[in-house]
Amino acid sequence: MSKSAVFEQNLKRIRLRVSFVMSILLLAGMALAARSLDLQVLSNAFLAEQGEARHIRIVPIVAPRGPITDRNGEPLAISTPVDSVWVNPRIVADATDRLPELARSMEVKPDWLKRRIASNMNREFLFLQRHMSPERALRVEKLNIPGVYLQREYHRYYPAGEVTGHLLGFTDIDDRGQEGLELAYDGWLAGEPGFKRVLRDRRGNTIEVEQVEPLQQGQPLELSLDLRIQYLAYRELKAAVKANNAKSGSIVVIDVTTGEVLAMANQPSFNPNDRSEFRPARYRNRAVTDIFEPGSSIKPFVIAAALESGTFRSDSTVDTSPGSFKVGSKLIQDKHNLGNISLATVLTKSSNVGVTKIAMELEARYMWNTFSQFGFGALTGSGLPAESAGLLANYNSWRPISQATMSYGYGMSVTLLQLTEAYATLANHGEHLPISLLRLDEAPRGDRVVSPATARALIEMMETVVADGGTGTLAAVNGYQVAGKTGTSWKADAGGYSQDRYVAVFAGLAPASNPRLATVVMLDEPSAGKFYGGEVAAPVFSNVTSGALRLLAVAPDNVPRRRPGEIIQAMRDRP
């Protein structure tokens, strides 16, 4: 073959190869162009969405809960910023060699940490520890371990601790109200979370942040509570429960001119800052959840019904001879034969016979209606969770013996808040004001329960209880006239009433000349030798009321202390 032929043949092969390579390059270029078109135009939205799903997150910004303060602006509940540790198990799995460091910083066992992460590999978000102290959170942050992050949260703190624990309640780990006012006003206190868009690299590090929606902080809540009086009530109640070896105790103080609760305390108490104490037996607010038979502390309201009915006058008398009175098969007795006594003496000596005879002169419907108007058998409207309405059976179901025993506080049950509300109504010239746990700028409209004359007469009668010779002399307050009533009741037992378990009560008003405070104290099962309300509850009333009146700058009565006879004679001499 000639050289020219060989050359032509080689040239042909080269052309074929060039054509083949060019075809391959052209096809590759077309494929690249098609792929580029697909990525940049046809699949752009899908791919952008997938990219965002992998690297962009919408993260909530936790809103702080609104603060709670007393009426003078003292903080009772505040939200403090804390950090919580969370991980992306899929990312942190690539740094298992650093888990022992993380465990030491978190003060947990390495084995527990490894198991927790390994058992949640299908998740992208896992809390490891909530509400860490700032020191430990800083140690974790300095480790800079891939897939380990801190999240800002808020922790509820209660500066007064157990002093206000029952009233305020507490929140859960996510800062949601669970008990007390934290639960009752959860919708008001809870803020609205905000949102931010964050961009993270492949190692999970945040490289860009953009706020999407701002957070809204929770609203502040200003209570009617006066922390100074609350401390005083808590201290005196705790001392009395301990001194009398009582099972429990409660106290409520109300400003009778507005219906505001100035103090509410219980024993045993609990510290809302310590979650190990979160047991129902400790954190329930006994002043509103527990009911008891009020004993003789109910007698003023029987006499109120009697005066309002017109059947009795303030100077009427009752013959209690021979010191006993039979209703059906039950014999009702006094300790002594008091003879023919005034209505005031019925309260002074706490005569069961006298109040029973008064009650039996009244229509059952009228007596029930008076009790109802004073708030017995109904919720107070405080708004506190789990509040009890007490027990007051409808008059249609009353038998004579029911009406008799109810006149001295058996066969019906009340809460301490109900009883305090009723005494506050007497103190407010017979006008009932709704209970308020929030600070009020002015007194609300009230409902007339008894006439001012009846209320005034009853207050003067109850002054004799605290005067010399009465059952509540230990409730006296230096510089102020006090009106009140003692109550001691047996506790119900299987088949009847216990003869060695008591509820001791003292309910009182001060100053009697122009009442400002209504305070009721209850001790459950005092067992240190004394059990009468005038012995164990009245001193608590005296100490708390004395301090509270001075804290509120209430002027003394400047009236000499009178004996019961002088008070009764003054009532008779009044036209």
Categorize the per-residue pLDDT at 145 as very low, low, confident or very high, splitting at 50, 70 and 90: confident
Whether residue 279 sits in one domain with residue 249? yes
Half-sphere exposure of 541 (CA within 13 A, CB side): 36
Helix (H, G, I), strand (E, B) or coil at 570: helix
**CB within 8 A of 200, min separation 6: which ones?**
55, 56, 57, 206, 207
**What pLDDT score was predicted for residue 572?**
58
Compare 35 and 408 and report the one with higher pLDDT: 408
Tens of pLDDT, residues 547-556: 999 999 999 9
Q: Is the pLDDT of residue 557 over 70?
A: yes
pLDDT in tens, 125-136: 888 888 887 788
Number of domains in the chain: 2
State residue 48's pLDDT score: 56
Q: Is 354 within 8 Å of 360 (Cβ atoms)?
A: no
Helix (H) or strand (E) holding 432: strand 431-432
556 and 435 housed in the same domain: yes
Between CA 461 and CA 481 the distance in angstroms is: 12
397 in any annotated domain: yes
Domain contains 41: no
Residue where a domain terminates, one of 222, 238, 266:
222
**362 in the same domain as 270:** yes
- Do 304 and 191 have their domain in common? no
Mean pLDDT (the chain) is 88
Does one domain contain both 312 and 279?
A: yes
Please state, in angstroms and rounded to a whole number, the distance separating the CA atoms of residues 186 and 560: 50
**Radius of gyration in angstroms for the set of CA atoms belonging to the chain, rounded to a whole number:** 38
23/545: higher pLDDT: 545
- pLDDT, residue 298, reads 97
The CATH number of residue 525's host domain is: 3.40.710.10
Do 215 and 312 share a domain, yes or no? no
Q: Beta strands 221-222 and 431-432: pairing type?
A: unpaired
CA distance 270 to 273: 9
Sign of CA dihedral 441, 447, 453, 458: negative
Sort residue 205 into left (φ over 0), alpha (ψ -120 to 50) or beta: beta
Rounded to the nearest 5°, which phi and psi values hold at 197?
-100, 125
Q: What is the pLDDT of residues 440-485, one digit of tens each?
A: 999 999 999 999 999 999 999 999 999 988 999 999 999 999 999 9
Distance linking the first and last C-alpha atoms of the chain: 157
Note whether residue 98 is domain-resident.
Answer: yes
266 & 376 share domain: yes
Task: Return the amino acid letter for 354.
Answer: G
Q: Give yes or no for residue 321 having a pLDDT over 70.
A: yes
Nearest-angstrom CA–CA distance, 466 and 457: 15
Do 371 and 484 share a structural domain? yes
Which amino acid would we find at residue 281? A
DSSP state of 205: -
Q: What is the pTM of this model?
A: 0.84
Q: Are residues 479 and 347 in the same domain?
A: yes
Say whether both 135 and 92 belong to one domain. yes
The catalytic position among 84, 250, 269, 296 is 296
Task: Say if residue 373 is in the same domain as residue 310.
Answer: yes
- Closest by alpha carbon to 256, among 515, 441, 477, 555? 515
**Same domain as 139, residue 89:** yes
Residue that terminates a domain, selected from 189, 206, 222: 222
What CATH number does the domain containing 207 carry?
Answer: 3.90.1310.10
Q: How far is CA 106 from CA 139, 204, 493, in A?
A: 8, 20, 53
At 4-30, the pLDDT tens digits run 776 677 777 777 887 888 888 888 888
Give yes or no for a contact between 219 and 501, defined as CB atoms under 8 angstroms apart.
Answer: no
Residue 5 lies in a domain: no
pLDDT digits (tens, 9 = 90+) for 29-70: 887 877 777 667 666 666 555 555 555 666 667 788 999 999
**Would you state the structure tokens that stand for residue 9, as one six-digit string?**
């043949």
On whether residue 259 sits in a domain, the answer given is: yes
- Cβ contact 524:246 at 8 Å: yes
Residue 104: domain span? 59-222
Which DSSP helix (H) or strand (E) runs through 209? strand 206-213
Max CA-CA distance within the chain? 160
Helix 352-360 / helix 299-309 crossing angle, nearest 10 deg: 40
Establish whether 224 is a catalytic residue.
Answer: no
Orientation angle between helical segments 416-427 and 299-309, nearest 10 degrees = 40
575: exposed, middle or buried (Cβ count in 10 Å: 0-12, 13-18, 19+): exposed
Specify the higher pLDDT residue, 488 or 83.
488
Please indicate, yes or no, if residue 53 is contained in any of the structural domains.
no
Proportion of the chain in helix, strand, coil states, percent, rounded to 5: 40, 25, 35
pLDDT tens-digit readout, 159-192: 999 999 999 999 998 889 999 999 999 999 998 8
- Tell me whether residue 35 is in a domain: no
* Residue ending a domain, choose from 190, 222, 254: 222
CA atoms of 120 and 430, how far apart (whole Å) = 65
Report pLDDT for 211: 61
Strand partners, 443: none
Determine, yes or no, domain membership for 15.
no
